[in-house]
Amino acid sequence: MFVGGGGGGREAVDSFRSRVLAERAQAYVGGRFSAQAPYETTGSSVRVSEEANRLLRDDSKVRTQFASLIAGAGVGGGRGSLGPSLYWQIFEAEGQAAVNLDASYSKPVGDGFQVVDTQYYSSGGFYTVLTFYQLWPVTVEGQPATLAWRSDLISSPLLDLRGVERMRSRSCCDA
């Protein structure tokens, strides 16, 4: 909710928010996760690059399965060799509007594809999210289909996991 007369407050907030998001996106393109400014929260700094590395370090199956994609996307550090597809989203976190900036990378692997969707900035709700997909072509009842394996790695101050601030989930389905 914006308070003030004549809409000047809203325009100033929109301008500020646009500038912050543009600066974050430019920093990401220039240096990936390591170029992101830290989040200041509850008196401490949280670095997205450290959170992403911690998530990857804690999940050896994802790290092994997607090693070449992780290196190519620069998710674990460095610039990587793959170009990102950039996008943004608006969502709700604890009753507040929030926005996140994302980069997606994909590469062919064997007869399928691997994809990683990296959420490298969020104005609320989480620090970072890494979503990995392994896609394989299959035939189901004579029809072409895709078998998908998905793993979500989430770092968030809002998750109450008895002191653990990270979450992992996996699902496998055919589409």
Count of CB atoms within 10 A of residue 29's CB? 14
Does residue 163 register a pLDDT over 50?
no
Higher-confidence position of 13 and 33: 33
In the chain, what are the domain boundaries?
8-174
Distance CA 26, CA 85 (A): 13
pTM above 0.85, yes or no: no
Higher-confidence position of 9 and 148: 148
Instruction: Return the CA Rg of the chain.
Output: 18
Does residue 81 register a pLDDT over 50?
yes
Burial class (CB in 10 A: 0-12, 13-18, 19+), 96: exposed
Rounded to the nearest angstrom, the gap between the alpha carbon of residue 77 and the centroid of all alpha carbons in its chain is 14
Distance CA 156, CA 172 (A): 24
The answer for residues whose C-beta is within 8 angstroms of residue 45's C-beta and 6 or more apart is: 38, 39
Q: Is 129:153 a contact under the CB 8 Å cutoff? A: yes
